[in-house]
Amino acid sequence: MRRGFTLIELMISVALIGIAVGSMGAATSFHRSTAVSLVLRERAMQLLEARADALVRSTQLAPDDEQALLNELPRGALTERVDGGLRILTASWNEASGKQTVELVLVESHR
């Protein structure tokens, strides 16, 4: 009657556990960077929507509010241009994967 495990069996078990934990670390890192990217994109959209809301209401977004939203984006910038009857708002920021941009296009109505 055999009791316990041999040294080889224990070493193989530890190696398999190590491989499983190592692969989980890579997956966790990928998901973490994806989550950060999504959060930054959402913050950029909040900035664009706040600016668009101010334009629609013919008011100004408070400079402190706009700056606070821009500070949420690493090296964030907000640009605005008019092309025909379209007003294009662009938010850009830097990520580890490079420069990212989000655009919001407003159609100017003639009342």
Cα 4 → chain centroid: 51
Residue 31 has pLDDT above 90, yes or no: no
Q: Are residues 93 and 44 in contact, defined by beta-carbon separation less than 8 angstroms?
A: yes
- The residues spanned by each domain of the chain are 8-107
User: How much is the pLDDT for 11?
Assistant: 93
Query: Cα separations (Å) of 95 from 22, 34, 62, 67, 100?
Result: 25, 11, 27, 19, 7
Q: Map tokens 């950060």 to a residue.
A: 36
Residue 1 has pLDDT above 70, yes or no: no
User: How much is the pLDDT for 48?
Assistant: 93
Per-residue pLDDT tens over the stretch 34-92 = 899 999 999 999 999 999 999 888 888 888 888 898 888 898 999 999 988 899 999 99
Distance (Å, rounded) from C-alpha 94 to C-alpha 101? 9
Residue 111 has pLDDT above 60, yes or no: no
As given in the structure block, the two tokens for residue 46 are 């909040």
**pLDDT confidence band for 23 (50 / 70 / 90):** confident
